[in-house]
Amino acid sequence: MVHYSEKSNKNNADKINKIILGLLLVSVVGIVYNQYVFSGFMPNTAVNFISFSLIFLLVGFTAWLLVKEDGSSKTESRTNISEKPPWSINEKISAALVVAITAIILFNQVQISNSKEMITGRTSGSGFFSSLSPIKLGSGKGGMIIGPKINSDGRTTRLVEFKTISETPPPKDTGNSVQDAIATVVPKGIPFYVTSGPGSEKIQGASFDDPITSQKVWSSLLGSRRFGTSNELKLTPEEQKRWEGIVSAFTCDYCCGSPKSVTTINRCGCAHSYGWQGMAKFFIKYYPNYTDDEIKGEMTKWKAIWYPQGMIQNYLVYTGQQPASILTTQGGSIGIKQQFLEQGASGSKATESSVEPLENLPSMVGGC
C-alpha cells in the first residue's frame, strides 16, 4: 500500500512537471512573438538583440531550475522515497500562478497584435492571425474603402480606411493584384439611396456605371451657374455649417494641387468638386444620422469612378503591393510617402522595378 502511494505521488509529480514545462513553452512562444512584433517598430538592432538575449536567458534559467528541481526530487525519492510528501499548498499555488501568467501573456499578445494596427494606422483584420499575413482590406466584411484624408497641416494627406454608406464588397485575391484592386476599388451598379428612399427623386440617373451622367446629377444639387439651380438643395443654417466642415476637409487629389499641397473641394473649380459638394448636401439633408466620416467615405467611393487610376494606386500602396514612390503627382502625396516611410516595418511586397504598369487605367473620367 505504501509502495502504491509512493508510485502515485511520483507519477503526479512527473505530470505536474510536464504541464509546467508545456505552459512554459507556450509562454516562451508568446513572449518571443511579442518581441518580434515590436522589433519591427524599433530600428535599433542593438536594442532588439539585447531584448531577445534577455528573453532567452530568462527562459533558459527557468528551464534549468525545473530540470534541477526534478533531478533533486528523484535523488531524494531514491534515498528516502517513503517520506515524499503529497503535493503541497505552495506547489499548487505555484502551478496556478504559472497558468495565470500564461493566460495573461496570451491575452497581451492579442492586444499587442491589435496595437500594431493602431500604430501603423492600418486595419488588417483581427489580432494575432492577421498580423502573420499581408494586410487585407475589410477582412471579409463590406463597407470599407481606401482613400486620402487631409492631415492636420491642411496641406498633405495620408491613406486611411473609410466606412462607406452603401455596401462595399470585400476584396478578392485571384493572384492578379491590379485586377483584384480594380474589382475592389471601382464600384458597380446603383446604390440603394438612388433607387428609393428620401431624396431619391432628385438624383435619378446617378449610377456607378455611368460616371459622366452621375457627375452632372450630383453637381446639380449644389446650385451653380455652371450646372444650374433648378435641382438645388437648400440647407438649414445648422446643415450648412456641417456641410462647410465636410467640403473644407474633403480633397481633390488627382487633378489639382501638388504633392506638397492638396486642394480641398471647396477651393477647387473642377466638375468633380461640384459633384462631391452636391453629394455632401444630399447626405446631410436626407441621411443626417451618418457621421461626417461615413459621408466622406461614400464620397470617396464615387471618387473611384472619376479617378480610377489614382484610387487604385492608393489601394495598392496601402495594402503593401506597391511602393508609395509611385505617387508622383497626387495632391498632398508627400504626406503619404512619409506615412509609409514611418511604417516601413510593414514593408511593401513590390519594388519600383516590379510594379505592374497602370497606364491603361484612365486617370480621370468626366470633365475637369
Q: What is the 3 state secondary structure string of the chain?
A: CHHHHHHHHHHHHHHHHHHHHHHHHHHHHHHHHHHHHHHCCCCCHHHHHHHHHHHHHHHHHHHHHHHHHHHHHHHHHHHHHHHCCCCCHHHHHHHHHHHHHHHHHHHHHHHHHHHHHHHHCCCCCCHHHHCCCCCCCCCCCCCEEEEEEECCCCCCEEEEEEECCCCCCCCCCCCCHHHHHHHHHCCCCCCHHHHCCCCHHHHCCCCCCCHHHHHHHHHHCCCECCCECCCCCCCCHHHHHHHHHHHCCCEECCCCCECCECEEHHHCCCHHHHHHHHHHHHHHHHCCCCCHHHHHHHHHHHHHHHCHHHHHHHHHHHCCCCCHHHCCCCCCHHHHHHHHHHCHHHCCCCCHHHCCCCCCCCCCCCCC
pLDDT, residue 137, reads 39
pLDDT digits (tens, 9 = 90+) for 317-352: 999 988 999 999 999 999 999 999 876 544 444 444
Answer yes or no: is pLDDT of 219 > 90.
yes
Q: Give the bridge partners for 228, in sequence order.
A: 224
pLDDT, residue 87, reads 63
pLDDT, residue 367, reads 63
Strands 251-252 and 157-163: unpaired
- Sequence-ordered list of residues with C-beta below 8 angstroms from that of 184, at least 6 positions apart, any chain: 137, 169, 170, 171, 172, 315
Answer yes or no: is pLDDT of 165 > 60.
yes
Answer yes or no: is pLDDT of 170 > 50.
yes
pLDDT, residue 81, reads 47
Q: Within 13 Å, how many C-alpha atoms sit on residue 213's CB side?
A: 9
**355 against 54, higher pLDDT:** 54
pLDDT, residue 233, reads 96
Answer yes or no: is pLDDT of 154 > 60.
yes
Q: Within 13 Å, how many C-alpha atoms sit on residue 79's CB side?
A: 6
pLDDT, residue 270, reads 87
pLDDT, residue 41, reads 45
| pTM higher than the cut 0.75 | no
Report how far residue 87's alpha carbon sits from residue 76's, in angstroms, rounded to the nearest whole number.
15
- Sequence-ordered list of residues with C-beta below 8 angstroms from that of 157, at least 6 positions apart, any chain: 148, 149, 150, 151, 251, 253, 262, 331, 332, 333, 335, 336
pLDDT digits (tens, 9 = 90+) for 53-91: 666 666 665 666 555 555 555 555 555 544 556 666 666
Answer yes or no: is pLDDT of 188 > 70.
yes
Residues 311/264, Cβ–Cβ less than 8 Å: no
pLDDT, residue 22, reads 72
Answer yes or no: is pLDDT of 127 > 50.
no
Residues 321/292, Cβ–Cβ less than 8 Å: no
pLDDT, residue 107, reads 62
pLDDT, residue 171, reads 82
- Judged by average pLDDT, the poorest of 36-40, 92-96, 240-244 is 36-40
70-107: buried (b, 16+ CB within 10 Å) or exposed (e) per residue?
A: beeeeeebeeeeeeeeeeeeeeeeeeeebeeebeebee
Q: Which of 12-26, 27-41, 64-78 has the highest mean pLDDT?
A: 12-26
130-140: buried (b, 16+ CB within 10 Å) or exposed (e) per residue?
A: bbeeebbbbee
Report how far residue 182's alpha carbon sits from residue 126's, in angstroms, rounded to the nearest whole number.
24
Residues 193/210, Cβ–Cβ less than 8 Å: no
Portion of the chain with pLDDT greater than 90, in percent:
45
pLDDT, residue 92, reads 65
Compute how many other C-beta atoms are within 10 angstroms of the C-beta atom of residue 304.
Answer: 24
Answer yes or no: is pLDDT of 46 > 80.
no
pLDDT, residue 252, reads 93
pLDDT digits (tens, 9 = 90+) for 258-316: 999 999 999 988 889 999 999 999 999 999 999 999 999 999 999 999 999 999 999 99
pLDDT, residue 86, reads 67
pLDDT, residue 93, reads 67
- Judged by average pLDDT, the poorest of 6-10, 13-17, 156-160, 246-250 is 6-10
pLDDT digits (tens, 9 = 90+) for 197-211: 999 999 999 999 999
